Amino acid sequence: MAESTVLQFSPFQSHVEEGFWKRLSSLKLNTLGLDETPVKITGFYGPCSHAQVSSHLYLLDESLPANLAEESSSSEMVLGNRNRCPIPGTLYNTNTLESFRGLDKQSLIRKEAKKIWEEICSGRVEAACAVLSRFLVISYADLKKWTFHYWFAFPALVLNPSALVSKLQPASEWFNLEEGKSLSEACNEWRKSSLTAAVPFFLVIITADSHVTLRPLKDWETCQRDGHKLLFGFYDPCHLPSNPGWPLRNFLAFICSRCKIEKIQFLCYRERHGLADLTHSLVGEALVSISQEWKNPQFIPEAVGWERNGSKLAPRRIDLATSMDPIRLAMSAADLNLKLMRWRALPSLNLDKLSATKCLLLGAGTLGCQVARMLMAWGIKKITLVDNGRVSMSNPLRQSLYTLEDCLNGGDWKADAAVRSLKSIFPGVEAEGFTFAIPMPGHPVQAKETAGVLEDCRRLQNLISSHDVIFLLTDTRESRWLPTLLCTNANKLAITAALGFDSYVVMRHGAGVSADDKDASFSVCSSGIEGHESRRLGCYFCNDVVAPNDSTSNRTLDQQCTVTRPGLAPIASALAVELMIGILHHPEGMNAPGEMASSISESSSQPLGILPHQIRGSLSQFSQMVLVGSSFNRCTACSNLVVSEYRRRELEFVIQALNHPNYLEDLTGLTELMDKARSFNLDWEEDDETDIETVL
């Protein structure tokens, strides 16, 4: 035997494609959350196919299960092909950089080595030889910055003493011409068949007549018995003429411990242009001695194999933020804070539902701007704004979607400027703006304006029916009437926010009138409370005994402008949106009953907390309270009487109400009610004076 030296193996090299990190990010954010359970992954490699470059072990997007359910339902290996032999791996993705750094790497690699050893001992390697190249990855994914810290280990069982190599030469030199030709044919056949193409370890049998066949590992005993020349072949990722690649290490361990061979001839199979390349492939003879320890069934060999980063034994880091398309990055970043909520604080958060909810904002002023921002922050994608004004110089300081730029040259339409601003914050928003006025009772329609007003009514009808939630954010009482009626009629969720000088009210309107309520009769009574319907929550108008009317004419400048404490609008807007989020998460949705302060046990049943009907607050007292008020059967906006009449006469009814708000009072019986109340007061006063002695 020639002089022998210690056999040196060329380490495996890893390569991770961006797709892997993207799928990992999505898996972590959407499914894993805080769960640090190791994840089964699949690496891919093939034989070296280039004289100067070794093959890498690749991680691709399909290296990860698309979701964990998928992974658990199938324990099968991902299907590979001739250039992508699937190799099982384990991913340890940590929640923090500190725990990434703190992982016990020695213990992790030993754990994988143990698996490999057990698979060798159990014979499983013969059935699924790729497990010999089992690997592991530890990682920490900073989903906020799109940077990934990671470290591969390719565990190699340590032979003790080390394997020696007595010969190592190009296969073309080792085989005679005929053998070589036959080997090439056999290898190309092996690589062509879908059954064997992705099987990286195999037996090479050379008969005395120089005929070469390849056989799967499970045939090792038969082959050994046959007495033919036997080589152990493997797909070698390494390109070096001087060294075999890393997979040979565990292959040698398998051969010596399982086949009890101590003088092992091996073939490092390499290719060129998709065909066997025997000048490039190597054949060598390894001398191993089976240590005594290995015979102890409890024994597990030592393992090495943490990948180097350049010359250092250190983890790697990749920053994808710089290479990603900013728009795409923004889209994925948008959901980050929300998805993180589901990890711990709010697992039941239904982001799909939010993202599918279409919101219509009536008014793009102080409230509308802030509500739109809040909606985006909650992951709402579809936001439509209606306003009929232009951005004026005094707006940007309180209306958070506008800047000075929007005020120049007479000012842009608010609806347009708001949409532009929303898109500059988050390009993924589907925002639309409409510029038209909401028709209002008490603002009579001139004959020549009728067509335009009818058109506005129809636009509003259409917008309300094509959205799920309607926010009433205008600055007059009467502009909320038609939207309230239309939302009740279409049974859409309506949320009102309204401001005083230092107080606010935020409320959800009750679910719309049901079909069987249509002919509800009512008795005249002077108490509003008796007239309230117990089943439905009230609307913005349910506490009023007069119809909405023109409140804008003849108002002084401080009454026309938003003279409110600046803090009010952000508070009321935030509460309006938070209320909506709660309703969308309630099993009964907009039909959820109005709740007051809850006991602890109740609040725990709804993870977002209680669902009030109204929230009223005062900045001068820094106080806030929740209220429940039921609907009023003579309400000028949401009562059955009004809705039925609207259903019967549609826009003709609306125009009549716009021109004559008193008509609404007559229709609902409010006129009669107030007359009775007045006469009652009168009677009582008379009694009070004439019968004064009886009182005494």
Q: List the interface residues with a copy of itself, window 616-675 (CB under 8 A).
A: 617-626
Which pair of tokens denotes residue 216?
């799967």
Between 95 and 210, CB nearer to a copy of itself: 95
Which pair of tokens denotes residue 71?
């992974």
Q: How far is the CB of 92 from a copy of itself (least distance, A)?
A: 15
Q: How far is the CB of 327 from a copy of itself (least distance, A)?
A: 8
Q: Which of 370, 630, 644, 668 is the binder for a copy of itself (CB under 8 A)?
A: 370
656, containing H or E segment: helix 640-659
Count interface residues toward a copy of itself (CB under 8 A): 94
For the segment 538-567, give every residue that binds a copy of itself (CB under 8 A): 553-558, 560-563, 565-567
For the segment 597-616, give every residue that binds a copy of itself (CB under 8 A): 597-598, 603, 608-610, 612, 615
493, containing H or E segment: strand 493-499
Q: Which of 161, 326, 589, 593 is the binder for a copy of itself (CB under 8 A)?
A: 326
For residue 5, what are the β-bridge partners? 165
Q: Which of 121, 256, 259, 561 is catalytic?
A: 561
Letters for 673-692 (x = contact with a copy of itself by CB under 8 A, - = none) are: --------------------
First-to-last CA distance in the chain?
A: 135
For the segment 341-360, give every residue that binds a copy of itself (CB under 8 A): 341, 343-346
For residue 626, what are the β-bridge partners? 615
Closest-CA residue to 475 (of 431, 432, 512, 440)? 440
496 binds a copy of itself (CB under 8 A): no
427 binds a copy of itself (CB under 8 A): yes
Token look-up 């998709």 returns: 274
318 binds a copy of itself (CB under 8 A): no
Among this protein's residues, is 561 annotated catalytic? yes
For the segment 217-246, give every residue that binds a copy of itself (CB under 8 A): none
CA dihedral (80, 81, 85, 87) in degrees, to 10, reads 0
Q: How far is the CB of 447 from a copy of itself (least distance, A)?
A: 22
Residues comprising the chain, all counted: 696
Q: Which of 501, 530, 647, 675 is the binder for a copy of itself (CB under 8 A)?
A: 501
Q: Which of 51, 127, 128, 404 is the binder for a copy of itself (CB under 8 A)?
A: 404
314 binds a copy of itself (CB under 8 A): no
Peptide bond into 161 cis (omega under 30): yes
For residue 92, what are the β-bridge partners? 138
Token look-up 């979701």 returns: 67
328 vs 289: CA distance, rounded Å:
57
Radius of gyration from C-alpha coordinates of the chain:
39
Letters for 162-181 (x = contact with a copy of itself by CB under 8 A, - = none) are: --------------------
Instruction: Pick the stretch among 276-284, 403-411, 522-530, 679-687 that binds a copy of itself (CB under 8 A).
Output: 403-411
Instruction: Pick the stretch among 129-137, 445-453, 571-579, 675-683 that binds a copy of itself (CB under 8 A).
Output: 571-579
* Burial class of residue 371 in the structure, from the number of CB atoms within 10 Å of its CB (0-12 exposed, 13-18 middle, 19+ buried): buried
For the beta carbon of residue 331, count every other beta carbon within 10 angstroms: 14
410 binds a copy of itself (CB under 8 A): yes
The C-alpha angle 406, 412, 417, rounded to 5 degrees, equals 70
Q: Which residues are catalytic?
A: 561
